[in-house]
C-alpha cells in the first residue's frame, strides 16, 4: 500500500512539472533569431534591397519632409537628371559638395559599366541569328546585381549622412525613362530582350532597327499588388546607324552589338 501511494505521488509531481513547462512562455535566444528586413515598394521602382550601413558623412541640412497621404509621394527627388548627370536640385537640397558630386558621377559610371559587363556574361543569343538579325535575352542575376546596387547606395548614404539618406529614400521615385537611375536601382533584376534587324528607313537608306525590352517581375504581395504576380515592362526602339547611337538605349547594347554595327 505504501509502495502504491509513493508511485502515485511521484506520478502527480511529474505531471505537475510537465504542465508548468508547457504552459510557460518560451524564451528565444536573440542571437539565434534571424530577422528579415522590412521592405517597401513604390510604383516605378522595385522592392528596395537592403543596403549596408555606411559611415555617416556630412550631415546635410535637410528640408522638412512634406506631408504625404497613403502611398502618394510628394516632392520626389532624383539623384540624376534626364541626361544622367547628378541633378542640380538634388545637390541643392542636400548640400552636396563638389567633390562628392564627382564621387557620385564616378560611382554612376562604374555601376553602369559593371551592369553592362554582367549583362554580357548572362546573355543567351538566339540560335537563328544571321547577317540580318541579331537577337538575344539577358537572364536576371539578382545576387551580382545586388552588389552593384549596394555599392552605389552605400556611397549615397555615406555622402548624405543618415538623416539626408533617410529623407532621400522617402522621396526617391525612379521611372523607366530615367535610364541611369532605373538601371542602378534595379541592377540584376531585369530580364532583357533585345533585337537588331537590318532594314531601310522612310527614304530607303539602310539602317539598323534596335528594340530593347526590360521586364521586372514582381511576385505576389510586392510591387503594390496584394494577390497576383505581375511583370512591369518598359520598351524602347528606334533606328540607328552607328554604335555611338546605341548609348541612348543601353550601355550593354554597345558592348554586345554585332560586328556589322559600325
* Model pLDDT for residues 127-157, shown as the tens digit of each residue: 999 989 999 999 999 999 999 999 999 999 9
Grouping H, G, I as helix, E, B as strand and the rest as coil, residue 107 is helix
Question: Average pLDDT for residues 220-236, to the nearest whole number?
Answer: 62
Q: Cβ distance 68 to 74 under 8 Å? A: yes
- pLDDT tens track for 11-67: 444 444 443 433 333 333 333 333 323 233 333 333 354 332 222 233 232 333 333
Q: Give the C-alpha distances (Å, rounded to integers) separating 128 from 3, 195, 233, 239, 257.
A: 90, 12, 25, 22, 16
Top pLDDT among 235 and 85 is at 85
Largest pairwise CA distance in the chain: 114
Chain mean position to CA 151 = 12
Q: What span, in angstroms and rounded, lies between the C-alpha atoms of 262 and 249?
A: 16
User: What pLDDT shows up at residue 230?
Assistant: 65
Domain positions in the chain are 88-256
Give the H or E element holding residue 216. strand 206-218
Provide the mean pLDDT of the chain: 73
Q: Give the C-alpha distances (Å, rounded to integers) separating 66 from 72, 88, 175.
A: 11, 20, 21
Q: Which residue has the cell 538579325?
A: 133
Q: Which residue has the cell 555601376?
A: 111
Amino acid at each position: 500500500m505504501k509502495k502504491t501511494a509513493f508511485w502515485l505521488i511521484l506520478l502527480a509531481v511529474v505531471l505537475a512539472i510537465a504542465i508548468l513547462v508547457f504552459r510557460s512562455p518560451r524564451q528565444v535566444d536573440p542571437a539565434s533569431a534571424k530577422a528579415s528586413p522590412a521592405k517597401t515598394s513604390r510604383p516605378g521602382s522595385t522592392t528596395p534591397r537592403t543596403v549596408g550601413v555606411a559611415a555617416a558623412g556630412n550631415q546635410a541640412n535637410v528640408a522638412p519632409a512634406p506631408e504625404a497621404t497613403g502611398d502618394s509621394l510628394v516632392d520626389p527627388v532624383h539623384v540624376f537628371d534626364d541626361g544622367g548627370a547628378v541633378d542640380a536640385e538634388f545637390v541643392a537640397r542636400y548640400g552636396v559638395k563638389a567633390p562628392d558630386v564627382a564621387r557620385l558621377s564616378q560611382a554612376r559610371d562604374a555601376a553602369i559599366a559593371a551592369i553592362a559587363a554582367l549583362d554580357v556574361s548572362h546573355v543567351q543569343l538566339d540560335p537563328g541569328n544571321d547577317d540580318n538579325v541579331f537577337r538575344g535575352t539577358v537572364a536576371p542575376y539578382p545576387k551580382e546585381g545586388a552588389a552593384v546596387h549596394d555599392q552605389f547606395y552605400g556611397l549615397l548614404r555615406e555622402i548624405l549622412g543618415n538623416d539626408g539618406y533617410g529623407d532621400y529614400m522617402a522621396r526617391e521615385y525612379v521611372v523607366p525613362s530615367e535610364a541611369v537611375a532605373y538601371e542602378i536601382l534595379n541592377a540584376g533584376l531585369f530580364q532583357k530582350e533585345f533585337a537588331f534587324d537590318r532594314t531601310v528607313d522612310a527614304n530607303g537608306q539602310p539602317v539598323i532597327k534596335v528594340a530593347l525590352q526590360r521586364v521586372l517581375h514582381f511576385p505576389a504581395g510586392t510591387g503594390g499588388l496584394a494577390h497576383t504576380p505581375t511583370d512591369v515592362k518598359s520598351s524602347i526602339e528606334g533606328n540607328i546607324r552607328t554604335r555611338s547611337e546605341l548609348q541612348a538605349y543601353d550601355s550593354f547594347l554597345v558592348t554586345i552589338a554585332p560586328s556589322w554595327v559600325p
